[in-house]
Amino acid sequence: MKMLRVLDSSGDRAISFDNSQESAAARVAAQDLFERLLANGSVAFKVHRTNGAPDEKVTEFSALENETIVVPRVVGG
Amino acid sequence: MRTKPSSCHGWWAAEPMTRLAPLIYRRIGGLVRDLFSESEPASHVVINPTHSIRRLSRDRLQAYIETLSPRKRGLRCRSGTDRPADAGPTDSASAANDLSEDAEARARRLLLRMLSPAQRAQFQGYGFFCVDVPMRNAFCVLPRHVFNVLDLWTGDHYCCTAGAILPLSDVMLTQKLLLENDPQQFFSVANRRPAPNLLVRRSGRGALA
């Protein structure tokens, strides 16, 4: 099971999906959201990776692992 | 009947204030009444030189009342008697506060889960945490919204926040993830505020070695 967390004003919004047929709709929705957010300037990071691998920036939906956090576009304050 | 004393050049100053005060109050009251009166006699326009000033003030006041922000309108509605009868015990403002508290609590839980054990101990003990940035110095992420990333070596402050409205813990998590995994993007958009140089003079007389 993979999880996509999108940071927003409510804290975060989580979408869970996997490669099974049952969660095909959730996977399509997650992919659509992921690509739309990245196109708008958001940045995604793979976190809590297997075998204790360090966090990593990700740009491809197919490369998502256990948990991914999408942060909004950042601006200079 | 009042007469001017021969020894006094300013006899108005000698007039007791207790007798002048009602006159002043009556005059001010008339000005305020005129300001809010809907209809004015035509003769008033002609003979009163301050008419245009008062009309301008009234128009500005009316424009201010009509352009109150929704927040002010809401406050006025809640404080007045025109509150809807079917409104529940919790109004929209308190619901918004509850929502923001829930969001902050949720964001804080996520941040605590994402921090390394050392960072988590720092954050729980002091409210901030430090991040080692590859090929750069160590940075401290402070619990505030602006200029909250502190370079521990130079003392400079950096401000790079999310373009959306996020709880503070989410902002700190965003900065941690960017600093650790994509520092180029962080420093390409962050604004830098140099450290206040209070002790060391860079040049001129009295420069410290």
Contact B166 A77 (CB under 8 A): no
Domain ranges of chain A: 2-71
Q: Residues of B70-99 as b/e, b for ≥16 C-beta within 10 angstroms?
A: eeeeeeeeeeeeeeeeeeeeeeeeeeeeee
- Residue A56's Cβ-count burial label (10 Å; 0-12, 13-18, 19+) is middle
Helical spans, DSSP H, in chain B? 11-14, 17-36, 42-47, 51-66, 70-79, 92-114, 117-126, 168-181, 183-189
Residues B172, B165: contact at Cβ < 8 Å?
Answer: no
For the stretch A41-66, pLDDT in tens is 999 999 988 888 889 999 999 999 89
Query: What pLDDT does residue B22 have?
Result: 57
ipTM > 0.90, yes or no: yes
Q: A76 to chain B: which residues are within 8 Å by CB?
A: 159-160, 189-191
Contact B167 A69 (CB under 8 A): no
For the stretch A23-46, pLDDT in tens is 899 999 999 999 999 999 999 999
Min distance B129 CA to chain A CA atoms (Å):
17
Residue B81 scores a pLDDT above 80:
no
Contact B191 A11 (CB under 8 A): no
Min distance B89 CA to chain A CA atoms (Å):
23
Mean pLDDT of B155-161: 93
CA distances from B120 to B43, B73, B174 (A): 78, 43, 15
Measured between CB atoms, does B115 come within 8 Å of chain A?
Answer: no
Angle at the Cα of B176 from the Cα atoms of B185 and B121, rounded to 5 degrees: 165
Residue B172 scores a pLDDT above 50:
yes
Distance between CA atoms of residues B112 and B169, nearest Å: 9
Measured between CB atoms, does A8 come within 8 Å of chain B?
Answer: yes
Question: Topology of A2-71 in CATH?
Answer: Ubiquitin-like (UB roll) (3.10.20)
Residue A15 scores a pLDDT above 80:
yes
CA distances from B198 to B91, B155, B207, B208 (A): 49, 12, 12, 12
